């Protein structure tokens, strides 16, 4: 049974997303939601579109709902923030039945509950293809501050937390073999379908004095220059022991090196950050999953294992 009316959609949404929350002075159903908030907040917005960002052939409805929200939560995490609430604009093609939407909302609602984050509002429209646009906002984490991308200084240690290249390997394998790729590359496939926002780790990094932080969504090669700012310079050391086993196995099947997959990546949702050497050694390195990538400098050049690096990362914008 497909869902014919806007009202039916709205009540299904009400079933999955609580309408009462301390963060919401006025919930869904009015022209706007009203949020109680006594200080600065951060906002972000992302698209999640069928056949651009996901395929229905290998994403389950739960995966689609989950990931549409997860990529936004990751943006809040990368600010060292705590998610406060989100809005969802939903583009609804015909032919998706109620069971699809049940699963879609349950995948999304589980992540929302996990982050104690109400759905504050949104919009529904029919559309040719399924699409989601989510806006999310957050408050500063326990450290009381937001961490910008561009706080690093020459001499700072560059570090990563997460598995660069793993989701890209998953995407390539899913595109080639469909969901049965999960049999041989379970973690790569999972990294693409169900990226885990690193909210907790990011809060620890913030408290430990990270000087800059961002989430790697377009791959290290594209996102690292964004972190480094106007005169990007860094010397990176990428060794096989830093690269996920499945990335290494994936690279063996292709004509690219594991280091290139690691650097080019895409949709990694790893955290990339910098810290002063003392803070890195004494505090940051003790945080689970953190690995040093190298040092930043003001040379204007990024090198990987001593060689200037030039590849372009994964770009949703490319045709």
Residue stretches of the annotated binding site for ATP: 122-123, 149, 217
Handedness of CA 71, 149, 231, 158 (dihedral sign): negative
Residue 32 in the binding site for its own copies (CB under 8 A): yes
For its own copies, the binding residue among 11, 19, 37, 282 (CB under 8 A) is 37
Minimum distance, C-beta of residue 140 to its own copies, in the bound complex (Å): 9
The Cβ-side half-sphere exposure at 64, using a 13 Å CA radius, reads 27
Tokens 């009540």, residue located: 11
Which residues define the annotated binding site? 31, 44-46, 53, 75, 122-123, 149, 215, 217-218, 267, 314
Residue 126 in the binding site for its own copies (CB under 8 A): yes
Interacting residues of 313 by C-beta distance below 8 A, sequence separation 6+? 218, 219, 220, 221, 222, 223, 263, 264, 265, 266
Residue 34 in the binding site for its own copies (CB under 8 A): yes
Task: Give the H/E segment covering residue 308.
Answer: strand 307-308
The stretch among 117-125, 181-189, 234-242, 244-252 that binds its own copies (CB under 8 A) is: 117-125
Residue number, 30 or 252, with CB nearest to its own copies: 30
Residues 138-157 that bind its own copies (CB under 8 A): 138, 146, 148-150
Minimum distance, C-beta of residue 31 to its own copies, in the bound complex (Å): 4
Residue number, 76 or 261, with CB nearest to its own copies: 76
Strand order in the sheet with 157-161: 212-216, 270-275, 157-161, 290-296, 234-236, 302-304, 307-308
Instruction: Quote the DSSP letter at residue 61.
Output: H
Greatest alpha-carbon pair distance for the chain in Å reads 61
Residue number, 68 or 181, with CB nearest to its own copies: 68
CB neighbourhood size of 298 (10 A)? 13
The residues of the shown chain that bind its own copies, judged by CB under 8 A, are 5-6, 9, 25-26, 29-47, 49, 52-53, 74-76, 78-79, 81, 85, 87-89, 91, 94, 120-129, 131, 133, 135-138, 146, 148-150, 214-215, 226, 315-317, 319
């Amino acid at each position: 049974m497909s869902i014919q009316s806007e009202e039916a959609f709205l009540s299904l949404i009400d079933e999955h997303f609580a309408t009462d929350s301390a963060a919401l002075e006025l919930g869904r159903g009015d022209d706007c939601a009203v949020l109680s908030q006594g200080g600065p907040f951060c906002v972000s917005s992302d698209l999640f579109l069928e056949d651009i960002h996901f395929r229905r052939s290998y994403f389950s409805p739960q995966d689609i709902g989950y990931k549409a929200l997860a990529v936004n939560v990751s943006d809040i995490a990368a600010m060292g923030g705590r998610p406060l609430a989100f809005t969802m604009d939903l583009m609804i093609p015909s032919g998706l039945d109620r069971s699809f939407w049940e699963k879609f909302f349950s995948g999304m609602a589980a992540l929302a509950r996990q982050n104690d984050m109400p759905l504050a509002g949104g919009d529904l429209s029919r559309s040719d293809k399924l699409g989601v646009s989510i806006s999310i906002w957050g408050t500063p984490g326990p450290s009381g501050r937001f961490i910008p991308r561009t706080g690093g200084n020459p001499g700072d240690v560059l570090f990563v937390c997460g598995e660069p290249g793993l989701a890209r390997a998953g995407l390539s394998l899913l595109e080639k073999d469909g969901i049965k790729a999960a049999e041989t590359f379970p973690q790569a496939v999972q990294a693409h379908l169900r990226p885990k926002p690193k909210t907790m780790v990011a809060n620890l990094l913030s408290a430990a004095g990270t000087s800059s932080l961002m989430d790697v969504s377009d791959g290290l090669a594209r996102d690292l220059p964004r972190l480094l700012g106007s005169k990007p310079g860094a010397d990176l050391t990428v060794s096989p022991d830093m690269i996920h086993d499945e990335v290494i196995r994936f690279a063996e099947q292709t004509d690219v090196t594991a280091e290139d997959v690691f650097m080019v990546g895409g949709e990694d949702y790893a955290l990339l950050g910098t810290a002063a050497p003392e803070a890195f050694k004494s505090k940051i390195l003790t945080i689970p999953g953190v690995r040093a990538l190298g040092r930043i400098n003001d040379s204007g050049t990024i090198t990987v294992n001593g060689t200037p690096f030039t590849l372009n990362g994964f770009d949703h914008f490319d045709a």
